[in-house]
Structure 1
Amino acid sequence: MRKWFTFVLCGVVVAAAFADTGTVQPFVADRVLVKFHDQFLPEGWRAGDLTKVHPAIAKLRPVGASYIVGIDVLVIDLKPGSDAPAAVRALAKHPDVEFAELDLIYEALWTPNDPLRPNQYGLGKIFAYDAWNIWRGDANFFTCVADTGIDHAHQDLSGKYAGGHDYVNNDTNPMDDHGHGTHCSGIAAAMTNNGIGIAGVDPLGRLKATKVLSSGGSGSTTNISNGITWAANNGCHTVSLSLGGGGFSNTMNNAVNYAWNAGCVVVAAAGNNGNTTVVYPAGYANALAVASTTSTDARSSFSSYGSWVQVAAPGSSIRSTLRNNTYGDLSGTSMACPHVAGMATWLYSKLIVNPAQRNVVHAAQIRQIIEDTADPVGTFVTKGRVNMNRAIRAIVINGDVNGDGCVDDRDLAMVLDAYGDSGPNRADLNNTGIVDDADLAIVLNYFGVGCTSN
């Protein structure tokens, strides 16, 4: 069963169909498509003679008609202001009619133009493409990669870099002198749809970085803990920790708890030991541990696993950014981790409108959603391989522009205020690149959903 809704905005008739799934389906106003059973097809229509009108169509008093050659579908244009859904319902009841339907409008699916994107199988495995048609992130939300630093001059990262700190050299320039951190940064949030290199998991979210590992790829508890707390104190929404080794550290555990309590989702690589030995920081209670999977969703042979690891993400042969404007493939749970970290920040930007609203309750919501919407891939993790499409659908309430859980006049005001604007915009609910009548239709149709009466 469908619900139908039409309204007039600025003198233009706008229409949308709403399926039981909650999907908004705009259609061409004042037009219906109809197919008669072969024996009842009006004489002459196949030959292009549209003057012989079937009685069921004559009742609609059409102002025009055409014919789709080869499939015997008639395109009937009604008078302006006609009730096309009612016409469809009437035609569908006629015994001579095989089917009748609206002329639905379809949109091009968003596929980034980054030339190396086809080499990034991980995006498909976590259903990023489907998810991006719902939400592409927000530039006011940040993933902090605590690693060997970041090559912030890289052509695919420079436009996303928003600051950081170097705890190895004690300065504010976390330039990568190893390559590992640059690779992880690109996975999480490389510049996307810029015609260069790769695409990041979070197309619009930005990056901050703390250099906590040396040019040799190692770092102390002190540096790593400082890098984590810096992220919490500098507006980051997710901390990505593609590092591990050593035993339990109270200091580092306290740093993870500090970031978590500040509202940061802490994501950590499970380790590359290929066994069930707990690795830290992934093993801390408030860190989300990430194992590595292959292009077939199997556990990567090197990946640590077990009941202490919650989720998995692609980590075998992952294409991403490397130093000096280059790209290459690396493998490890280090590559799986930023898939989830970028996803967490991307989800965060849909959950809340104001980045400063970051808090532990929201962080817990994001982590829970990531875990609960993961696809089962085996017993080597407790939840599964992450799924961006399922995760974003767990957050989205159609029409809830400001993300407060209630579709009300504030959401309507946001759409009206942004009406006609192009480019990334929260009010662009159907992700067509412009705030228009279809977005307004969504808010009006779902008005009141999620709201409680006073």
Structure 2
Amino acid sequence: MAGASVATASASGLAAAKSGDTVEVNVGFKSESGRQKALSAADEVVRDFNSLDIVTIRAAKKAVTALDNNPNVRYVEENGTMEALAETLPWGQDRVDSDVLHANGELGAGADVAILDTGIDSDHPDLTDKLGKGKAFTTCDTSGGCRFGAQKADNTCYESWDDDNNHGTHCAGIAAGDDNSQGVIGAAPDVTLHAVKVLDGCGSGSFSDIAAGIEYTADQGWDVASMSLGGDSGSSAMKDAVQYASDKGVFLVAAAGNDGPCTDCVGYPAAYSEVMAVSSTASDDTLSDFSSTGPEVEIAAPGTDIYSSVANGGYDTYSGTSMATPHVAGVAGQLASNGTTGSSIRSTLKNSAESIGLGSNESGSGLLDAAAALGYDSSDDT
């Protein structure tokens, strides 16, 4: 996991042992004579390596000390331990108090969250347990290059809706990374995720692709549509689709855009009145320097340096209002799990947001507060 470190063994156990105490050590030898000396000193041979010049033994400390002085022995070390690289609660989830919900058993079970994006990696260990349906409105294709320096993911298209870019998988992990002792924990680990592939491997999709994905989401009766995508101009077809989904009771949330610093520059579909527009914050609660702002912004969420899943079972750190949006989508899924729907999800998120001193055009009602949205105090994490 990026940014993590393993725990190394301490020599304190061996150093503290008395002369007659049994200790477990690894012995590196220079020759067969050294190997035989180690085996002769052992009360028990734990492991005799096949190809490495090492044996692991249990022996009295005084015998081990003698081995350490043998010219045919390269080293004697305590057979310490390393720990598995544990699951991570990314800073964004901690900041919006998603962990408070998890500690109180609020995991989002029963809610349906659609990720309208580049797809979702169909075999990612942090996502497979909660993947529902998938639908592709663009083609999954890892071959060929992209304009403007975009990169396709080196990911086999097992499903038509697989992620050939990484972006959608990253967003999916933020919304609902599984609580499974590895990788990352998302805002709502037990919601059902649906991959609606409306963007290709280069991160592009037509108005028609996106409108079709929104329509499809509404026709499935799903609770939340998370759209970490946008453009400078709107589309009549997309506006029709947004209106249709809103009328069907879908909670629609979208990224405000990454055109900052700027004013009155929220992109579409976030700028539509039926959609909650999300701006991005950094870990110190300042507005992310890339975040678009404008009167359409209704809420802010963490979006700078967010660690989450990517294709091929991996993890990486991305920044953008794209990363802020699935934080909101995941908490919306938590609300849907408790029976809150559509416009009520929107008003609840706004009414419970935390003021962090940003202007209304920068953060709308404030910073997303997962605990407050579901009626918990931020201290209710035990």
**Alignment partner, residue 299 of structure 1:** 287
1:269-308 CA distances to partner (integer Å, 9 max, x unpaired)?
0000001213100000010000000011110000001221
1:260 CA displacement:
1.2
Describe the SS at the equivalent of 2:309.
Answer: strand
Q: Is it true that 1:143 corresponds to 2:130 in the alignment? A: no
Q: Is it true that 1:157 corresponds to 2:144 in the alignment? A: no
**Distance in structure 2 (CA, Å) of the matches to 1:348 and 1:324:** 30
Matches within 5 A, 1:393-404: 393=375
1:370 CA displacement:
0.2
Q: Is it true that 1:115 corresponds to 2:98 in the alignment? A: no
**Alignment partner, residue 363 of structure 1:** 342
**Distance in structure 2 (CA, Å) of the matches to 1:138 and 1:301:** 32
**Alignment partner, residue 176 of structure 1:** 163
Describe the SS at the equivalent of 2:300.
Answer: strand
**Alignment partner, residue 349 of structure 1:** 337
**Alignment partner, residue 271 of structure 2:** 283
Q: Cα–Cα, structure 1 residues 137 and 260, in superposed 2: closer, same or farther, change >3 Å? A: farther
1:134 CA displacement:
3.5
| 1:131 pairs with one of 101, 109, 118 | 101
1:209-256 CA distances to partner (integer Å, 9 max, x unpaired)?
111111111110000011111111123210000001131212111111
**Alignment partner, residue 324 of structure 1:** 312
1:217 corresponds to which letter in structure 2?
Answer: G
Q: Cα–Cα, structure 1 residues 316 and 200, in superposed 2: closer, same or farther, change >3 Å? A: same
1:101-126 CA distances to partner (integer Å, 9 max, x unpaired)?
xxxxxxxxxxxx992414x1001110
CA contact (8 A) 1:135 1:350 kept: no
1:131 CA displacement:
2.5
Matches within 5 A, 1:219-230: 219-230=205-216
1:252 corresponds to which letter in structure 2?
Answer: M
1:184 CA displacement:
0.4
**Alignment partner, residue 190 of structure 1:** 177
**Distance in structure 2 (CA, Å) of the matches to 1:431 and 1:232:** 35
**Alignment partner, residue 96 of structure 1:** none
**Distance in structure 1 (CA, Å) of the matches to 2:104 and 2:195:** 28
For structure 1, the residue ranges without an aligned partner over 5 or more in a row are 1-112, 353-361, 395-429, 433-454
CA contact (8 A) 1:143 1:238 kept: yes
RMSD of equivalent CA atoms: 2.2
How many residue pairs get matched? 275
Give TM-score, length-normalised by structure 2.
Answer: 0.69
1:143-192 CA distances to partner (integer Å, 9 max, x unpaired)?
10000011021111111110110111299730001110000011001111
Matches within 5 A, 1:1-400: 115-118=86-89, 120-169=90-139, 173-192=160-179, 194-274=180-260, 275-276=262-263, 277-351=265-339, 362-377=341-356, 378-379=358-359, 380-393=362-375
**Distance in structure 1 (CA, Å) of the matches to 2:88 and 2:280:** 20
Q: Cα–Cα, structure 1 residues 114 and 242, in superposed 2: closer, same or farther, change >3 Å? A: farther
2:342 corresponds to which letter in structure 1?
Answer: A
1:338-385 CA distances to partner (integer Å, 9 max, x unpaired)?
000011011111125xxxxxxxxx311110000111011210122001
CA contact (8 A) 1:115 1:198 kept: no
1:141 corresponds to which letter in structure 2?
Answer: A
CA contact (8 A) 2:88 2:182 kept: no
**Distance in structure 1 (CA, Å) of the matches to 2:329 and 2:86:** 23
Structure 1 stretches of 4+ moved >4 Å: none
**Distance in structure 2 (CA, Å) of the matches to 1:278 and 1:323:** 29
Identity %: 39
1:411-433 CA distances to partner (integer Å, 9 max, x unpaired)?
xxxxxxxxxxxxxxxxxxx999x
Q: Cα–Cα, structure 1 residues 256 and 114, in superposed 2: closer, same or farther, change >3 Å? A: farther
CA contact (8 A) 2:114 2:224 kept: yes
Q: Cα–Cα, structure 1 residues 157 and 246, in superposed 2: closer, same or farther, change >3 Å? A: same
**Distance in structure 2 (CA, Å) of the matches to 1:431 and 1:384:** 22
1:324-344 CA distances to partner (integer Å, 9 max, x unpaired)?
010010000000000000110
Give TM-score, length-normalised by structure 1.
Answer: 0.58
CA contact (8 A) 2:280 2:304 kept: yes
For structure 2, the residue ranges without an aligned partner over 5 or more in a row are 1-83, 141-156
Describe the SS at the equivalent of 2:190.
Answer: coil
